Amino acid sequence: MSALASATVAALLIASPSTTDAARVAADGGFLLGNAHRCGIQNDRIVSAGQLIRDLILAVAGDAQEQDEATARFARFFIVSAFVDSTGKQPVASCQIVSSEFEQLEQHRAVADDPKTATGDATGPKPGPGDGE
């Protein structure tokens, strides 16, 4: 990450701390996906994860203005995280850690896309009469 990018990330975090859930999702998602791009994770996987982040932002945002602000925050964090410092003087997130965190995020999409989970057909006993229904 360049000195300018590092300074920008620091400024984003200090000047506009995440005050809402949507802002936190946006900042964390932008940082993770930007670093995933920097680490060479396939673009189609990043796009899919980006849609998941977008869905999460929409789910937790209180209104359209909060959605727009969170989306802009996501974009800022993605951009400053996606580029490498060519001099190697600035610390960057470990690609091994980024890859591990990215895979965990993808697992959330896999669970959400599982029709058994979405319809309540997950394995295990189903509640019956007298089980709190």
Supply the pTM of this predicted model. 0.70
Nearest to residue 54, comparing CAs of 67, 36, 63?
67
Q: Which of 91, 87, 76, 68 is nearest to 20 (CA)?
A: 68
How many angstroms separate the CA atoms of 36 and 42, rounded? 8
Task: Write the pLDDT tens digit of every residue in 18-40.
Answer: 678 999 999 999 999 999 999 99
Query: Could you read off the pLDDT of 44-87 as tens digits, one per residue?
Result: 999 999 999 999 999 999 999 999 999 999 998 899 888 866 66
Provide mean pLDDT across the span 10-16: 55
Please state the separation of Cα 26 from the chain's center in Å. 6
The pLDDT confidence band at residue 115, using thresholds 50, 70 and 90, is low
